[in-house]
Amino acid sequence: MKVKDGIIGLIVGDALGVPVEFTTRREREADPVTDMREYGTYDQPKGTWSDDSSMTIATMASITHRQKIDYEDIMKEFLNWAYLDDYTNSASGTFDMENTTSRSLRRYADGAPALKSGGTGERDNGNGSLMRILPLAFIKDIDYDTVEAVSSLTHAHEISRTACALYVEIAKSMIENDLEIKEHIDNACDKIKEHYKDSEVLGKFERIFSNDLDDVRGRSFVVGSLECVIHCMLTTDSYRSAVLKAVNFGEDTDTTAAICGGLAGIYYGYDSIPQDWVNSITCIEEVKSLCAKYEKFCDEG
Ligand SMILES: [Mg+2]
């Protein structure tokens, strides 16, 4: 089941990164993460996921419930996460919310339409929509406009929207075809270069297009984040080694590993995810059940 492969892959990556978010690469080199940890940055028990997983799950819950992509409803579920602690598996509720997301949700709560709530500034290009866009990759015939619109709920700048389109295209290639990782990435890049050939921001993705990724970091800037994830996928050969490499870049560890874990889960499959990591995630059975319902929607839609 591809939905479970990708979504559990994303959540496990997130939970691996949570205890060491904001640590430096040097700290991680001195003390690399090799297994699921507990406490640390947010003082959360082992297996706690953060905003990345919560917003991903909220998106799937909305689409499953409405049986379609309803932008207003997705935003309502984001509010339920942000203000009512829905879709969290932490006893202390919601933690770790990105600034652009926080401002967008406030605009929506104050009455802005869903598609006018997202940040449009150059600085609104953190990885906050990239980290939650994976569910769209499982929907048959998903188009770029819809991917961009779902990004725009919080991250409406062209750079973020294009990054989401590229990521979804890579994931779709992995879902639909049996190829090497490099071939999936090249295929997706070719499609994005063609579709966005007149875009002024396409140059931002040049390092990805030309596979010039030897100097990546675990940054929260959306393109930097995607560069790091693609580098981790291209230089490892298992789910475990891909997500650990992402975490051990330091900085935005949970999100880098979540974005990487989504692709690695799809590519290597659910059975490749260390089962003791999966079993450490609180509420994992509820997530698996939602994945099954979401896959049914995708198959029938
Ligand atoms: Mg997070």
Q: What does the domain layout of the chain look like in residue ranges?
A: 2-300
Instruction: Give the Å distance between the CA of 96 and the centre of ligand 1.
Output: 5
If you average pLDDT over every residue of the chain, what do you get? 96
Q: Average pLDDT for residues 240-263, to the nearest whole number?
A: 97
Rounded distance from Cα 195 to ligand 1 centre (Å):
30
The span from the CA of 54 to the CA of 57, in Å, is: 5
Q: What is the pLDDT of residue 129?
A: 98
Residue 225's nearest CA partner among 44, 98, 136 is 98
Q: How far away, in angstroms, is 253 Cα from ligand 1 center?
A: 8
Ligand 1 midpoint to CA 257 (Å): 10
Any residues with CB less than 8 A from the CB of 276 and at least 6 apart, and which? Answer: 36
CA of 102 to the centre of ligand 1 (A): 13
Averaged pLDDT for residues 103-129: 98
Q: What is the pLDDT of residue 93?
A: 86
The angle at the Cα of 48, spanning 1 to 57, to the nearest 5 degrees, equals 45
Question: What residue type is assigned to position 52 of the chain?
Answer: D
Distance 14 CA to ligand 1 centre (A): 7
Instruction: Give me 39's structure tokens.
Output: 């406490």
pLDDT in tens, 39-78: 989 889 999 999 999 999 999 999 999 999 999 999 999 9
* Positive or negative torsion for Cα 115, 117, 123, 129: negative
HSE, side-chain direction, 13 A CA sphere, residue 261: 33
Question: What is the distance in A from the centroid of ligand 1 to the CA of 64?
Answer: 23
Mean pLDDT value across residues 12-31:
95
Ligand 1 center to 258 CA (angstroms):
8
Helices assigned H by DSSP within the chain:
2-17, 25-30, 51-66, 71-84, 99-109, 144-152, 158-176, 181-195, 206-209, 222-234, 239-247, 253-268, 275-280, 284-300
Cα of 95 to ligand 1 centre, how many Å? 8
Separation between Cα atoms, residue 74 and residue 34, nearest integer Å? 35
Q: How much is the average pLDDT of 232-244?
A: 98
- How far apart are alpha carbons 176 and 189 in whole angstroms? 16
Please, which pLDDT band fits residue 95 given cuts at 50, 70 and 90? Answer: confident
pLDDT for residue 6: 98
Residue found under tokens 């030309």? 210
- Tell me, in angstroms, the distance from the centre of ligand 1 to residue 268's CA: 23
Task: Give yes or no for a contact between 69 and 63, defined as CB atoms under 8 angstroms apart.
Answer: yes
Spatial distance between the Cα atoms of 282 and 230, rounded to a whole number of angstroms:
28
The size of the chain, in residues, is 301
Selected residue with higher pLDDT from 272 and 219: 272
CA angle 256, 260, 262 (to 5 degrees): 125
**Model confidence over 39-50: pLDDT tens digits?**
989 889 999 999
Give the per-residue pLDDT at 202: 97
Ligand 1 midpoint to CA 15 (Å) = 9
pLDDT of amino acid 300: 85
pLDDT at res. 92: 84
**Reported pTM:** 0.97
pLDDT in tens, 158-214: 999 999 999 999 999 999 999 999 999 999 999 999 999 999 999 999 999 999 998
Find the 9 Cα to ligand 1 centroid distance in Å.
15
Angle at 273 between CA 178 and CA 18, to 5 degrees: 120
2-300 folds as: ADP-ribosylglycohydrolase fold (1.10.4080)
Rounded to the nearest whole angstrom, what is the distance from the C-alpha of residue 198 to the centroid of ligand 1? Answer: 33
As a whole number of angstroms, the distance between CA 117 and CA 127 comes to: 17
Give CA–CA dist 170/182, Å, rounded.
Answer: 10
Percent of the chain with pLDDT over 90: 93
CA atoms within 13 A on the CB side of 13: 38
Q: Name the CA radius of gyration of the chain, rounded.
A: 17
Cβ atoms 246, 228 nearer than 8 A? yes
